[in-house]
Copies of this chain bind each other. A is one copy, B any other.
Amino acid sequence: MEEMKRAAVIGLGSMGWGAAISLLKAGFTVRGCDLRGDVLQKFAEAGGEACTTPAAAVGDVDVVLVYVINSSQVEDVVFGANGALETAKRSTVFLLCATMAPSATTAIAERLEAAGMLVIDAPVSGGHVRALAGEITVMASGSQEAFDRAAPTLDAISSKVFRLGDRPGAGSQVKMINQLLAGVHIAATAEAMTLAAKAGIDLKTVYDVIRVSAGSSWMFENRGEHIVSGDYSPRSAVNIFVKDLGIVTSEAEKAGALTPLAASALALFTEASKAGLGGEDDAAVAKILASKSGATLPGMEE
């Protein structure tokens, strides 16, 4: 299986970078592709091979990890000019790691499979720190052959792979439900901290009590700390949730499901993005709520 130790990572953002580094640590030869020259240089210094186009990165690798942001970017880097399909050999395994609408994932997977490729729908969860440690969670679906061939890659980047079926699309569906909850929980954390601030309650006390009480969530524990310390340097960005909750509400509308809380949360993230906070940590949605409520949270201008 020597040949399976060659991988290409398209998109060296927060999560893609972590995956690429984890693959290097696991002994893979890794080609990385990104639009940003400084990132490519850093990647070369870290022991990777820097490529400026997907076509140049894919060539003779056996696994391609697609870590760009959304379905339109996936289409570009796979099917566009200088895209991965120009050079990929037959039966290359494509891991589609972006969070996409399940319908978009299915359409992209069908085009790839029609071109002779193997596909795993593989959206990830866990954040930058766990990505760097090779410990992300993957919500994965695809054929047995694709999983067999991608096993060393999945072992290198992930501590937990959920097998959600043999067709691409199922992974994206479960990830969509996860993002509904994650986005609502971040907005709820913002709302709770804003009310606490307006009511004159010490935010650190609220955080310490609730993180171990029935009101807690993974996001409250994680993002609540960002709000209490006023630290909005981006771990994940406001704009990610504008995209992901947009997927949730549009897929829900297609399916006929009511999602009033996701819609409320999306409105807040959208407002935060329009206010220029799109590149800040997603917890910055709290600044919008606080500002509209006349409250000042840590890290906000008086």
Contact = CB atoms under 8 A, between A and B. Distances in A.
Contacts of A258: 191, 194, 289, 292-293
Interface residues of A, number: 68
Given A127-B214, A209-B164, A201 B177 contact: yes
Contacts of A228: none
Given A198-B252, A199-B255, A252-B198, A185 B188 contact: yes
A215 B185 contact: yes
A39 interface: no
A176 B59 CA distance: 58
Contacts of A139: 209, 213
Interface in A153-179: 160, 162, 164, 170, 173-174, 176-179
A243 to B, nearest CB: 16
Given A125-B214, A295-B257, A180 B191 contact: yes
Given A188-B185, A256-B294, A195 B180 contact: yes
Contacts of A294: 256
A294 B258 CA distance: 9
Contacts of A181: 188-189, 192, 210, 215-217, 220
Contacts of A51: none
A126 interface: yes
B178 A184 contact: no
Interface stretch (A7-15, A75-83, A263-271): A263-271
Contacts of A255: 195, 198-199
Nearest to A258: B293
A26 interface: no
Contact of A215 (B180, B213, B257): B180
A268 B257 contact: no
Contacts of A170: 201
Given A180-B192, A252-B198, A206 B174 contact: yes
Given A177-B195, A199-B251, A217-B220, 9 more contacts: A137-B213, A164-B205, A174-B209, A179-B215, A194-B259, A197-B257, A198-B256, A217-B217, A217-B218
